[in-house]
């Protein structure tokens, strides 16, 4: 009986300890989310449109528009992930690419269009953007 009296307090302490034990940052992702941006990318003034897919000569091609809203160039890393019809990753993953987005021109047009091709099996796609450390 004495243990039952302390059970709520003990449970609360265990939950608090478990929630504080991890130093890893976790980003929860909706399985249908097509664009993942590290918070530092948003802070750096980069905006991106959702990837679009088209077909060129029998190959699926993903494209995304990226914009730099800063007055200086910003370098980002990006990778397209491809998924099969069941939503499973298609391996091997595409390599991580690096690009430097220049500041917008004075006329306000500072957007860039980035593409990556993949075999016809990869229909759904997502884009992941992070800043170099």
Encode pLDDT of 81-108 as tens digits: 888 778 788 888 888 888 888 887 766 5
Encode pLDDT of 26-67 as tens digits: 333 344 557 778 888 888 888 888 777 778 787 777 778 888
75 vs 84: which has the higher pLDDT: 75
Domain spans of the chain, in order of start = 31-130
Does residue 92 have a cis bond before it (omega within 30 degrees)? yes
Question: What is the spatial distance between Cα 62 and Cα 6, in angstroms, rounded to a whole number?
Answer: 57
Q: Are strands 74-82 and 52-56 parallel, antiparallel or unpaired?
A: unpaired
10 exposed, middle or buried (CB, 10 Å; 0-12, 13-18, 19+)?
exposed
Q: Are strands 46-48 and 35-37 parallel, antiparallel or unpaired?
A: unpaired
State both tokens at 19: 């929630």
**pLDDT at position 112:** 54
From 3.30.230.10, 3.40.50.2000, 2.60.40.3230, 1.10.4160.10, which CATH number describes the 31-130 domain?
2.60.40.3230
Residues 6+ apart with CB under 8 A from 93: 79, 81
Q: Are strands 59-68 and 46-48 parallel, antiparallel or unpaired?
A: antiparallel
């Amino acid at each position: 009986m004495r243990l039952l009296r302390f059970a709520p307090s003990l449970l609360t302490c265990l939950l608090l300890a478990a929630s504080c034990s991890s130093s890893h940052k976790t980003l929860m992702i909706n399985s249908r989310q097509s664009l993942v941006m590290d918070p530092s990318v948003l802070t750096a003034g980069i905006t991106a449109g959702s990837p679009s897919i088209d077909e060129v000569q029998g190959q699926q091609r993903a494209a995304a528009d990226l914009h730099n809203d800063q007055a200086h160039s910003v370098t980002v890393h990006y990778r397209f992930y491809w998924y099969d019809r069941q939503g499973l990753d298609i391996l091997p993953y595409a390599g991580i690419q690096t690009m430097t987005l220049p500041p917008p021109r004075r006329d306000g047009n500072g957007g860039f269009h980035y593409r990556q091709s993949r075999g016809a099996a990869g229909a759904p796609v997502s884009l992941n953007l992070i800043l170099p450390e």
